[in-house]
Structure 1
């Protein structure tokens, strides 16, 4: 598989008019293939593997929020990075999820070719499925290199997406509390 991916990167270099045999590019196809496999390693992971039983009994039925989880993903349209932060909340119903598992779930889906809208929904639905939460909320804010480095070249633009499930969708007060708690203080 890696030889095949490396060969494709070699063809890309040729297609760009580069000489893959020149000193600076000799190992570039192998390095690029290795980097791409790492950037897309989310395909190799499953929710069950990531959680690995880290669900703990709890009487807490109040909102749990993990804010500012950095994420790095690749736009499925241009294969260019988008970089940002995810804010994830859920309302437990007898079980809480190990803290690091929330970040690992974000990474599992971010490390696939994505669009931000789908990424946001995938994270929310995974948290809901694994915890049985009464509600889940996810907000992602990101900057997209496909918009900054090419096309309209807008350097200061950010995209915000949100998915609200259960209590966060049904209750304006619950939704507002979450949005207020993730709001930045400037």
Structure 2
């Protein structure tokens, strides 16, 4: 799921609805799981060891080839950007590099605290929403662990996240975190 999510997050900068694509990793993972479950159960229940070993080897080789292909693309960093055309954003503005009024793909180097303070100021987040956002973007803990660390109930944490999403226009926690790290402060 992490593999698919990171790949779709990388693709999202080229997509028309960038907030939709990071969640597609989970969708693809679930679809693949559904497609693999029935054949896997059939092979296991048949107790045919040769068929089971053959399927495992084919899957292993397929995964190895796909991973090697991914490592080969990231050699100079250009293959990941060069093969895809940048899409227009939701307002129909083209995001092609070379246009004078487009935002560069790389964010200026900011310290985390400066980025967080700028983001909070730009979107009018409260102090508690700032704490929630900081906890979300710096940790990979579960929602329950984040809520416990902030001394909040899980439902209160979800309300804060929903409020932040509403203020920033994000559609999910994943989209919010991606938006935070890709956000470029306007001077």
Q: Do both proteins adopt the same fold according to a TM-score greater than 0.5, normalized to the shorter chain?
A: no
TM bin (shorter chain): under 0.3
Greater strand fraction, Structure 1 or Structure 2: 1
Greater helix fraction, Structure 1 or Structure 2: 2
Q: TM-score, normalised by structure 1?
A: 0.26
Q: TM-score, normalised by structure 2?
A: 0.26
